[in-house]
């Protein structure tokens, strides 16, 4: 949120927490966030089969946070597909 | 009363009484306030700082709620320098997954925009691959490093050699020529890496060669943002004071020589910088507590003047950290906690 919208830290935390339906405090809780990442397909620390990895997770992040991510847009253009 | 174990700016352990620690903190903030014409830290802030530095714990951290995010310069080079023979893509994955990095930066071992320009195609293809296997925001970074445009490393007459000969006009002309070349290189490389998908571009150690170096980076930023309005540009400084190597250079009517962080950030914002990284150099003859009090005094008004996120530079020799290759965790954790909780930063 700092990189795409220039938000200061408090505003960025509030925005992300609202979008992920968690509290601001939860954002810094690795146990809670592991659940959130698993539920919302945002990528996990541990690499597991059939879970999003790498840039896949960035597509999800862009969609959930409603932001444009440069590499996601470029990848989309390169593969020439439209994603809903 | 027992002694407090602390460190000097050169990293070596030292013992201080509470009185000596308090005095050092007060002198550090006073030094910065006088130099930059900014307020010293308040009594509450001095007490907070004192409490952090007198803690007997080996490692300290922020209180819950004060967590911030980290950005890096020379990101992929950090593991290479340890002699760990992994590639840059591996380094990005290690930092993301094993070290918990919030963002990362890929950089070439010859970490200057001038050096990267002729091999940018190779950088692009590796960067595109790195983006596929990583999730964190990935910057591409290098230094403006105006010095390497001077002979014998570059085409421009050496301004540092002209100055002692009294050839001031010639020295200034050489620096102005270097600015033009550097802007071209930064825009060229920045454009290429952004078109390869970079989530951000980092200009590291801006101002290292003085006011021409700062000017080149501001102008490159402005050009890149006109070309790519959505581009994230992080601008990290080299020191707290812009050295007047030229002395007369201006950006949009503001003379650059002599600016401190609270003034630097205003110009960075005007140029289109997204994240600003102020830097305060460490004095190795003074204690870490003196250094951090001084650093925060410079940085607090910078944060107050900013409308963009501020990520203060912290690491070897900057931001109150000692000048050692691997800063001890007791020193770096205290400096980080103090910077975040008193400096009110958006990141480090």
Please give the pLDDT value at position B161: 95
Q: What is the ipTM of this complex?
A: 0.92
CA dihedral B298, B300, B303, B309 (to 10 degrees): 90
pTM of model > 0.90: yes
Instruction: Assess contact for B88 and B76: CB atoms under 8 A.
Output: yes
Q: Measured between beta carbons, which residues in chain A are less than 8 angstroms from residue B346?
A: 2, 8-9, 12
The answer, for A24 touching chain B at a CB cutoff of 8 Å, is yes
The answer, for A74 touching chain B at a CB cutoff of 8 Å, is yes
3-state helix, strand, coil in chain B (%, to 5): 45, 15, 40
Band (pLDDT 50/70/90 cuts) for residue A82 is low
Please give the pLDDT value at position B1: 59
Name the token pair of B117: 């320009």
The answer, for B13 touching chain A at a CB cutoff of 8 Å, is no
Q: Measured between beta carbons, which residues in chain B are less than 8 angstroms from residue A23?
A: none
Per-residue pLDDT of chain B (348 residues; tens, 9 = 90+): 579 999 999 999 999 999 999 999 999 999 999 999 999 999 999 999 999 999 999 999 999 999 999 999 988 888 888 889 999 999 999 999 999 999 999 999 999 999 999 999 999 999 999 999 999 999 999 999 999 999 999 999 999 999 999 999 999 999 999 999 999 999 999 999 999 999 999 999 999 999 999 999 999 999 999 999 999 999 999 999 999 999 999 999 999 999 999 999 999 999 999 999 999 999 999 999 999 999 999 999 999 999 999 999 998 999 999 999 889 999 999 999 999 999 999 999
- Under an 8 A CB cutoff, do B347 and A71 touch? no
Helix (H, G, I), strand (E, B) or coil at B49: helix
Residue A19 Cα, gap to closest chain B Cα (Å) = 18
Where do the domains of chain B lie, and which CATH numbers do they carry? 4-343 (3.20.20)
The answer, for B65 touching chain A at a CB cutoff of 8 Å, is yes
Instruction: Assess contact for B8 and B284: CB atoms under 8 A.
Output: yes
Interface of B with A in 136-195 (CB under 8 A): 137-138, 194-195
Residue B181 Cα, gap to closest chain A Cα (Å) = 27
Helix (H, G, I), strand (E, B) or coil at B69: strand
CB pairs under 8 A, 24+ apart, for A17-22?
A19/A64, A19/A65, A19/A66, A20/A64
Instruction: Assess contact for B149 and B114: CB atoms under 8 A.
Output: yes
Residue A29 Cα, gap to closest chain B Cα (Å) = 10
- Under an 8 A CB cutoff, do A2 and B347 touch? yes
Please give the pLDDT value at position B312: 96
| Measured distance CA(B73)–CA(B311) in Å, rounded | 11
Angle subtended at Cα B131 by Cα B237 and Cα B278, rounded to the nearest 5 degrees: 10
| Measured distance CA(B291)–CA(B271) in Å, rounded | 30
| Measured distance CA(B290)–CA(A61) in Å, rounded | 42
Smallest Cβ–Cβ distance between A43 and the set B135, B197, B346 belongs to B135
Smallest Cβ–Cβ distance between A25 and the set B64, B68, B135 belongs to B64
Closest CA to B101 of B65, B136, B50, B51: B136
φ and ψ at residue B318, rounded to 5 degrees: -135, 155
Distances (CA, A) of B306 to B35, B70, B211, B213, B311: 20, 18, 21, 21, 11
Band (pLDDT 50/70/90 cuts) for residue A80 is confident
- Under an 8 A CB cutoff, do B64 and A24 touch? no
Nearest CA in chain A to B139: A3
| Measured distance CA(B257)–CA(B34) in Å, rounded | 17
| Measured distance CA(B313)–CA(B315) in Å, rounded | 7
Query: In the predicted model, is pLDDT for residue A31 greater than 60?
Result: yes
Name the token pair of B61: 């951290």
């Amino acid at each position: 949120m700092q990189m795409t919208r220039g938000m200061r830290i408090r505003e960025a935390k509030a925005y992300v927490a609202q979008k992920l339906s968690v509290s601001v405090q939860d954002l810094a809780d690795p146990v809670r966030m592991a659940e959130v990442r698993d539920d919302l397909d945002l990528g996990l620390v541990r690499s597991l089969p059939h879970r999003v990895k790498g840039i896949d997770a960035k597509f999800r992040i862009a969609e959930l946070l409603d932001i444009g991510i440069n590499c996601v847009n470029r990848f989309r253009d390169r593969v020439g597909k439209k994603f809903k | 009363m027992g002694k407090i174990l602390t460190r000097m700016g050169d990293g070596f352990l030292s013992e201080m009484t509470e009185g000596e620690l308090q005095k050092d903190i007060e002198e550090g903030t006073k030094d910065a306030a006088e130099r930059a014409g900014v307020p010293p830290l308040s009594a509450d802030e001095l007490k907070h700082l004192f409490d952090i530095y007198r803690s007997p714990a080996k490692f300290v951290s922020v209180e819950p709620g004060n967590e911030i995010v980290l950005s890096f310069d020379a990101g992929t080079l950090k593991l290479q320098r340890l002699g760990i023979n992994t590639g840059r893509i591996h380094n990005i994955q290690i930092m993301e997954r094993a070290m918990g990095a919030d963002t990362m930066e890929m950089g070439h071992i010859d970490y200057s925009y001038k050096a990267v320009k002729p091999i940018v195609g190779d950088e692009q293809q590796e960067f595109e691959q790195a983006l596929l296997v990583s999730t964190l925001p990935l910057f591409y970074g290098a230094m403006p490093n105006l010095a390497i445009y001077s002979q014998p490393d570059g085409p421009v007459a050496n301004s540092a050699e002209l100055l002692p000969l009294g050839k001031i006009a010639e020295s200034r002309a050489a620096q102005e020529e270097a600015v033009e070349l550097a802007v071209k290189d930064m825009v060229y490389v920045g454009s290429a890496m952004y078109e390869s998908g970079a989530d951000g571009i980092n200009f590291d150690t801006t101002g290292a060669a003085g006011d021409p170096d700062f000017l080149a980076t501001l102008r490159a930023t402005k050009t890149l943002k006109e070309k790519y309005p959505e581009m994230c540009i992080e601008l990290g400084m080299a020191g707290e004071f812009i050295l007047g190597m030229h002395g007369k250079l201006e950006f949009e009517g503001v003379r650059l020589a002599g600016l401190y962080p609270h003034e630097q950030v205003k110009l960075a914002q005007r140029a289109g910088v997204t994240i600003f990284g102020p830097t305060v150099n460490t004095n190795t003859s003074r204690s870490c507590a003196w250094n951090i009090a001084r650093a925060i005094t410079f940085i607090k008004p910078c944060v107050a003047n900013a409308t963009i996120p501020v990520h203060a530079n912290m690491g070897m020799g900057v931001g109150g950290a000692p000048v050692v290759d691997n800063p001890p965790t007791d020193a770096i954790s205290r400096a980080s906690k103090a910077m975040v909780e008193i400096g009110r930063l958006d990141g480090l």
